[in-house]
Amino acid sequence: MKSYDLVILGSGSAAFAAAIKASELGARVAMTEHDVIGGTCVNRGCIPSKTLIAAAELAYKANRSPFDGLRFENPRLDFRRLIAQKDELVKTLRAKKYTDIAEEDPNIEILPGQARFVSPTEVQLNGTALRAERSLIATGSRPFIPPIPGLEEVRYLTSTSAFELEELPRSLIIIGGGYIAMELGQMFQRFGTRVTILERAPRILPGFEEEISLALRGYLEEEGIEIVTQSTVQRVRRQGEEAVVSADVQGERREFRTHSLLLATGRVPNSDQLHLEQAGVQVDERRFVKVDAELRTTAVKIWAAGDVTGAPLATPVGAREGIIAAENAIAERHLRMDYRAIPRAVFTDPEVASVGLTEAQAEAQGFRCRCRILDLSLVPKAAAIRDTRGLVKMVIDQETGQVLGVHLIAPRGADIIHEAALAVKHRLTHLDLIDLIHVYPTMAEAIRMAAQMFVKDVSKLSCCAE
* 73 band by pLDDT with thresholds 50, 70 and 90: confident
Phi-psi region of 4 (alpha: psi -120 to 50; beta: other; left: phi over 0): beta
Question: For the purposes of burial, counting CB atoms within 10 Å of the CB of 465, is it exposed (0-12), middle (13-18) or buried (19 or more)?
Answer: exposed
* Element (DSSP H or E) covering residue 348: none
In this predicted structure, what is the pLDDT of residue 63?
85
Amino acid at position 54, single letter: A
User: What domains, with CATH codes, occur in the chain?
Assistant: 2-143+268-331 (3.50.50.60), 151-265 (3.50.50.60), 344-460 (3.30.390.30)
| SS3 assignment, position 70 | coil
Q: Are strands 128-137 and 231-239 parallel, antiparallel or unpaired?
A: unpaired
The pLDDT tens digits of the residues spanning 252-300 come to 999 999 999 999 999 999 999 999 999 999 999 999 999 999 999 999 9
The pLDDT tens digits of the residues spanning 132-155 come to 999 999 999 999 999 999 999 998
Say which residues have a Cβ less than 8 Å from residue 404's Cβ, sequence separation at least 6: 356, 357, 362, 367, 369, 395, 396, 397, 424
- DSSP state string for 248-313: EETTEEEEEEESEEEE-S-EEES-TTS-GGGGT--B-TT-PBP--TTSB-SSTTEEE-SGGGTS--
In this model, does residue 463 exceed pLDDT 90?
no
Distance CA 430, CA 377 (A): 21
9, 274 contact by CB (below 8 A): yes
51, 175 contact by CB (below 8 A): no
In this predicted structure, what is the pLDDT of residue 329?
98
Distance CA 79, CA 186 (A): 16
* Element (DSSP H or E) covering residue 427: none
**Among 453, 456, 416, 460, which Cα is nearest to 438's?**
416
pTM: 0.95
| SS3 assignment, position 14 | helix
List Cα–Cα distances, 83 to 53, 60, 94, 352, in angstroms: 12, 17, 16, 25
In this predicted structure, what is the pLDDT of residue 167?
95
